Amino acid sequence: MQKFDVLIVGAGIVGLTLALALRKTTDLKIAIADTQPIKAVTPEPEVRVSAINMASQTLFENLNIWSDITENRLQPYQKMHIWDKGGLGKLDFSFDDLGPFLQHENLGWIIENKVIRNALWQKAQTDEGISFFTDHKLASITEGDSEVFVSFDTSVEVSKGTQAPLMAKLVVGADGANSWVRKQIDTPMITRDYDHHAIVATIKCSQGHENTAWQVFLPTGPLAFLPLFPQDNATCSIVYSTSPKEAKRLTALNAIDFAKELTAASDGKLGNIELVSERFTYPLTMRLAQDFVKGRVVLIGDAAHTIHPLAGQGVNLGLVDAAALAQNITSLMSAQGTGDKNLASPRVLKAFSRARKSEATEMIAAMEAIKQTFSLQQPGVKLFRGIGLSLLDNVKPAKKILIEKALGLKSDLPELAQRKLN
């Protein structure tokens, strides 16, 4: 039986970030368990992308993987343009709205998920304090007085034989929305069906994206055009959130007719649209664990919460989870001094759970308010909404607050995600 300080279940973006954050600030021995293979970066852009805000970029920079991402590929955007289909309202954001101390910066970056995961994975592979377990699926979690025992599935033989159980002082579930860890510890969940399906695909636009993130609110839901590598000013990733019935109709269309619908939906602002990838559809559900901690098991990222993608904040929320947990564990170890470390202090973990659940709840409420506001289509409501958006577009203090929230600029960010301003 191998012993570790922390076992992270899930080697996605959030789990790998936690491992590197812990290794940067402690000498803990980390195990990572995940059978999902790493995918090579290919010339064609991946359909699955993430909108990375400034807090997440700072975190990656402090973990020394941002340069690996930039050397590969990413697409910055300097502006956002949001409008109400068939209405009067619009919002335009840029760094000019933040004042002179942050001008000439990017509002964010659109990066393919596999580009981020590859950079994190390769960095973790070079760290002698991180061990990977990728051949066998996990079978059970059993919590003892001072450690957690985790066994592997031995019912399926693999070429490398069987895998002995692991023992860790703390187990972290970073294994996504359908978290196996969450099910093992039987954590109650609050769920809500958004009654939306998301269609994701890669497109090209004849008039170019202008390094701008575009989003139009349609009667059935939001449609986002996110500028994407290759940096030809023509490639975008779309996230089209709409009713299940409409999603089924749209995905049944041929590529040409689907592209025509996108051109019409976007009011031709990006020119003629061309579909250049497959379309993928998945249902959207809000999930929130009632507690992010149970004994010696912690949930972070999508294992703890999922939100509507209309503001692109899901992965950023999970990355701050990782940075916050690493900081809590580091502070706990410093307070304990030398000797054997108790990484599962109820006081510390409960404080982490309360803080992160509070932020997730706030984000869920904000996404719900935006979704509900734009779903109302009565003429009077649309007029009032348009007037409100136009007023907001001209009120710089209010716009500054919204941009700071989108960028993740908060005073209580974990240290690894705090941007140092001159």
- Sequence letter at residue 321: D
Beta pairing partners, 148:
143, 168
In sequence order, what are the residues at sequence separation of 6 or more whose Cβ sits closer than 8 angstroms to the Cβ of residue 209? 77, 225, 227, 233, 234, 235, 236, 270
For residue 343, the enclosing domain spans: 2-76+108-190+285-372
- Give domain status of residue 101, yes or no: no
pLDDT value at position 288? 97
- Answer whether 38's CB lies under 8 Å from 15's CB: no
Cα–Cα distance measured from residue 108 to residue 130, given in angstroms and rounded to the nearest whole number = 30
pLDDT value at position 160? 60
Split at pLDDT 50, 70, 90, the class of 366 is: confident
pTM for this model (two decimals) = 0.93
Q: Which two tokens mark 303?
A: 């294992």
- Answer whether 201's CB lies under 8 Å from 277's CB: yes
In sequence order, what are the residues at sequence separation of 6 or more whose Cβ sits closer than 8 angstroms to the Cβ of residue 58? 416, 417, 418, 419
Split at pLDDT 50, 70, 90, the class of 104 is: low
Split at pLDDT 50, 70, 90, the class of 370 is: confident
Please state the separation of Cα 281 from the chain's center in Å. Answer: 18
- Sequence letter at residue 82: I
Most confident of 100-104, 196-200, 335-339, 403-407: 196-200
Q: What is the dihedral of CA 242, 246, 249, 255, to 10 degrees?
A: -30
- Give domain status of residue 222, yes or no: no
Split at pLDDT 50, 70, 90, the class of 85 is: confident
pLDDT value at position 163? 83
Q: Is the pLDDT of residue 377 over 70?
A: no
Cis (ω within 30 of 0) for the bond into 230?
yes
pLDDT digits 0-9 by tens, 274-325 = 999 999 999 999 999 999 999 999 999 999 999 999 888 899 999 999 999 9
CATH of the domain at 333: 3.50.50.60
Q: Is the pLDDT of residue 178 over 60?
A: yes
pLDDT value at position 382? 59
Which is nearest to 131 in space by CA: 154, 163, 156? 163
pLDDT digits 0-9 by tens, 319-353 = 999 999 999 999 998 887 655 678 999 999 999 99
- Give domain status of residue 290, yes or no: yes
Cα–Cα distance measured from residue 24 to residue 298, given in angstroms and rounded to the nearest whole number = 20
Q: What is the DSSP letter of 415?
A: G
Q: Is 187 helix (H, G, I), strand (E, B) or coil?
A: coil
Q: Give long-range contacts, CB 8 A cutoff, 24+ apart: 358-361.
A: 359/317, 359/320, 360/288, 360/304, 360/305, 360/307, 360/317, 361/288
Split at pLDDT 50, 70, 90, the class of 180 is: very high
Q: Is the pLDDT of residue 421 over 70?
A: no
pLDDT value at position 21? 98
- Give domain status of residue 412, yes or no: no
Task: Say which residue, 196 or 391, is predicted with more confidence.
Answer: 196
Scanning 177-310, the segments in alpha helix (DSSP H) are: 180-184, 244-252, 255-265
- Sequence letter at residue 125: Q
Average pLDDT over residues 73-93: 87
- Give domain status of residue 50, yes or no: yes
- Give domain status of residue 307, yes or no: yes
Task: Using a pLDDT cut of 90, give the percent of the chain over it.
Answer: 70
- Give domain status of residue 127, yes or no: yes
pLDDT value at position 199? 97
Task: Using a pLDDT cut of 70, give the percent of the chain over it.
Answer: 89
Q: How many domains does the chain have?
A: 1
- Give domain status of residue 301, yes or no: yes
